[in-house]
A and B are shown apart, each in its own frame.
Chain A
Amino acid sequence: MSMERIPLLQVKDLVVTFGARRDRFTAVKGVSFDVHRGETFGLVGESGSGKTTIGRTIIRVNPAAGGEILYNGERISGKISRERDRAVTRKIQMIFQDPMASLNERAKVDYIVSEGLYNLGLSLTEEQRRQRVARALSDVGLLPEFAGRFPHEFSGGQRQRIGIARALIMEPEFIIADEPISALDVSIRAQVLNLLADLQRKRGLTYLFISHDLSVMRFICDRIAVIHLGRIVELAETEKLFAHPLHPYTRALLSAIPLPDPAAEKSKVLEVYDPACHHYEKDAPVWTEAEPGHFVLANGEELDAYRRMLG
């Protein structure tokens, strides 16, 4: 590559905590990663590992207790100016995990989808606004006449697509997709994945794709970071991660991918990750590049073993 890539999003040593004093709980423990313009960066990890919290901190819903977040080289965490806050609100959109809880049940789809536009204070005519709603709905495979209906009149999958339409209508540059397809059945899942890929090509969108489903991530992500209990344990290009998973947690995740084959599934032996397999008391783990572009959290002994695995 001739041109140095400037990261669109930089997350540096991010720490996020909940609760005060004695009840304080650290959900994100010093997470760092860069997302480049136009790429799809995946964040995978088990339930409660802090994926959603990271997303919510980027869009400024949760405050960062430590570290910083830069967008286009400018700091967007902590205290920032009003204009920058507005710009972040428009340029970075998040598709939320729980489609039911994230939709206002008493509002019609029409309002839900265009809510962000109202908040921006754009001077759109009613006709323009309606057109944008219709286009956003058809972008996600819903009929424009659904605009007059209420969320509870839709199935779970349809509601998730309303959530996506609501992000798309803002014409963002950066989309944080938090489990955007896990509530969708396979066929629409395929449509939405193809749609996200298509939007990316046409509009140069950048994605932070949060999921627990590595089989989907293999398909859509350029790079993947594996997160465990608030810490990133491995980060690599998708192919490298699948070809040479190093960290035992990554290997456990890979072994758990469901196979569309009853015989193989029913006889499958799961690899279970037990953090006790590490011996970090004497030799603490360090974030290290095991091969070009492939990072892993490991101590000296583990790293030797990983390098041998890589050949």
Chain B
Amino acid sequence: MNEAILSVRDLEVEFTLRGRTLHAIRGINLDVYEGESLAIVGESGSGKSVFCKTFMGLLDSNGTITHGQILYKGTDLAAFRTEKEWLSVRGREIAMVMQDPMTSLNPLKTVGAQICEALTLHQGMQGDAAKQKAIEILGDVGITEAARRFGQYPHEFSGGMRQRVVIAIAVACNPRILICDEPTTALDVTIQAQILTLLRALKEKYKLTTLYITHDLGVVANVADRIAVMYAGDIVELGTCEEVFYEPKHPYTWALLSSLPQLGVKGESLYSIPGTPPNLFSEVRGDAFAPRNPYALKIDFVERPPYFEVSPTHKARTWLLDPRAPKVEPPENIRNLRAVGEERT
């Protein structure tokens, strides 16, 4: 395994909202290795975007890092206080493709101008050279007639095309780490497959480290070397792609896999996880997933489980892995995902 390029230690993030405190990130430890592609998967509101925004100093103004460190090349990003410090990292070291393409594009500027801006700011390119490069990148992200599209405004693009423009801007920054927040949800499956291929190619070419934030485990199977499963502001399972799909250990991972539409049967309800995620305004006791977990043990409601190591690359925070726990099998429909693939191809 390569060196860690980014190390997160005991990270906690809180938001203040009308006098109340929301604990969005509750003590995350994670090493991101140079050149890997790591997927962060979890339910809506689990804190995936907030977690990654801390690497770029992009938390909303009512949010703060209250504890922990984010070590990047020996520097603790969590200690940054000024915009100036962040500007040395943002874009040129770590770039992020945001979840909502429309909000990260300036509606008043042509897409070409916006890509050129990034090229000028981060790679020092000017004038025609910047324009040529911008058109090349637009072509790279799969936009046809790039030269004509260069002069158009974001509203003249379809939802999926806007997302590709946002990826083009991030690529124009030439970063070391590229964070893609739901990079392909707005894209149709064929383009999605193309973008993932493109991102993989960019990753190889520029030795990029990529973080994919997504809830779509299908996409994850294609691109991820490793998967971190997030729940309620915490990573509950971490392993290689194969480990998480073929030998998932946390009941929350089981639930996520079970609810994949690919495993659904027409005419029957899709499996959906009962209940709702915990209210992060109040303190979470025990395993945050316990109230929704049909396999929960008594201790899950009382004490937060530690990580249990399954293999040197695989660990999960669930009491079910304690040697004293009763033996529980994962749900029927996810026991043999290898066979699912074989059947469909």
B309 contacts partner chain A, Cβ-Cβ < 8 Å: no
Task: Give A259 to B157 CA distance when docked, in angstroms.
Answer: 29
Interface size on A, residues (CB 8 A): 60
A131 contacts partner chain B, Cβ-Cβ < 8 Å: no
Task: Give A18 to B155 CA distance when docked, in angstroms.
Answer: 12
B159, A52: Cβ atoms closer than 8 Å: yes
A262, B44: Cβ atoms closer than 8 Å: no
Across the interface, which residues of B come within 8 angstroms of A47, CB to CB?
158-161, 186-188, 191
B96 contacts partner chain A, Cβ-Cβ < 8 Å: no
Task: Give A190 to B125 CA distance when docked, in angstroms.
Answer: 47
- The closest CB in chain A to the CB of B104 belongs to A100
Task: Give A212 to B260 CA distance when docked, in angstroms.
Answer: 16
Across the interface, which residues of A come within 8 angstroms of B161, CB to CB?
47-48
Q: A190-B270, A194-B270 are in contact. Are A263 and B216 (CB under 8 A)?
A: no
Q: How far, in Å, is A56 (CB) from chain B's closest CB?
A: 12
B83 contacts partner chain A, Cβ-Cβ < 8 Å: no
Q: A218-B266, A259-B345 are in contact. Are A185 and B43 (CB under 8 A)?
A: yes
A278 contacts partner chain B, Cβ-Cβ < 8 Å: no
Task: Give A197 to B276 CA distance when docked, in angstroms.
Answer: 20
B216, A258: Cβ atoms closer than 8 Å: yes
Across the interface, which residues of B come within 8 angstroms of A194, CB to CB?
269-270, 272
B interface majority secondary structure: helix
A48, B272: Cβ atoms closer than 8 Å: no
Stretch at the interface among B2-10, B129-137, B336-344: B336-344
Residue with the greatest number of chain B CB neighbours at <10 A, chosen from A18, A156, A252: A156
- The closest CB in chain A to the CB of B98 belongs to A100
B259, A190: Cβ atoms closer than 8 Å: yes
Interface residues of B in 254-284 (CB under 8 A from A): 255-257, 259-264, 266, 269-273, 276
A253, B189: Cβ atoms closer than 8 Å: yes
A187, B273: Cβ atoms closer than 8 Å: yes
Q: A194-B270, A261-B338, A264-B342 are in contact. Are A189 and B261 (CB under 8 A)?
A: yes
Task: Give A218 to B100 CA distance when docked, in angstroms.
Answer: 26
Across the interface, which residues of A come within 8 angstroms of B60, CB to CB?
152
- The closest CB in chain A to the CB of B157 belongs to A48
Task: Give A257 to B190 CA distance when docked, in angstroms.
Answer: 8
Q: A141-B276, A153-B17 are in contact. Are A273 and B190 (CB under 8 A)?
A: yes
Q: A184-B44, A185-B42 are in contact. Are A259 and B221 (CB under 8 A)?
A: yes
Q: How far, in Å, is A310 (CB) from chain B's closest CB?
A: 21
Interface residues of A in 190-206 (CB under 8 A from B): 190-191, 193-194, 197
B231-257 CB contact bits vs A (8 Å, 1 = yes)? 000000000011001100000000111
Q: How far, in Å, is A174 (CB) from chain B's closest CB?
A: 22
B190, A265: Cβ atoms closer than 8 Å: no
B182 contacts partner chain A, Cβ-Cβ < 8 Å: yes
- The closest CB in chain B to the CB of A258 belongs to B218
Task: Give A165 to B56 CA distance when docked, in angstroms.
Answer: 33
A268 contacts partner chain B, Cβ-Cβ < 8 Å: yes
Interface residues of A in 66-94 (CB under 8 A from B): none
Task: Give A156 to B342 CA distance when docked, in angstroms.
Answer: 34
Task: Give A90 to B297 CA distance when docked, in angstroms.
Answer: 49
A261, B221: Cβ atoms closer than 8 Å: yes
Task: Give A190 to B45 CA distance when docked, in angstroms.
Answer: 16
Q: How far, in Å, is B56 (CB) from chain A's closest CB?
A: 17
Across the interface, which residues of B come within 8 angstroms of A190, CB to CB?
259, 261, 264, 269-273
Residue with the greatest number of chain A CB neighbours at <10 A, chosen from B42, B161, B262: B262
B215 contacts partner chain A, Cβ-Cβ < 8 Å: yes
A122 contacts partner chain B, Cβ-Cβ < 8 Å: no
Across the interface, which residues of A come within 8 angstroms of B242, CB to CB?
262-263
- The closest CB in chain A to the CB of B269 belongs to A194
Q: How far, in Å, is A221 (CB) from chain B's closest CB?
A: 10
- The closest CB in chain B to the CB of A153 belongs to B17
A48, B158: Cβ atoms closer than 8 Å: yes
- The closest CB in chain B to the CB of A194 belongs to B269
Across the interface, which residues of A come within 8 angstroms of B156, CB to CB?
18
- The closest CB in chain B to the CB of A195 belongs to B272
Task: Give A99 to B99 CA distance when docked, in angstroms.
Answer: 11
Can you list 5 contacts pairing A with B, beta carbon distance less than 8 Å?
A: A153-B17, A187-B43, A215-B262, A260-B337, A260-B341
Measured CB to CB, the residues of A under 8 A from B are 18, 44-49, 52, 97-101, 141, 152-158, 179, 182-191, 193-194, 197, 212-216, 218-219, 238, 252-253, 256-266, 268, 270, 272-273
Measured CB to CB, the residues of B under 8 A from A are 17, 42-45, 49, 60, 99-103, 156-161, 182, 185-193, 215-219, 221-222, 241-242, 245-246, 255-257, 259-264, 266, 269-273, 276, 337-338, 340-342, 344-345
* Extra contacts besides A157-B45, A261-B337 (4): CB < 8 Å: A154-B45, A187-B272, A219-B261, A262-B242
Closest 5 CB pairs of A and B: A264-B341, A47-B160, A157-B44, A258-B218, A185-B215
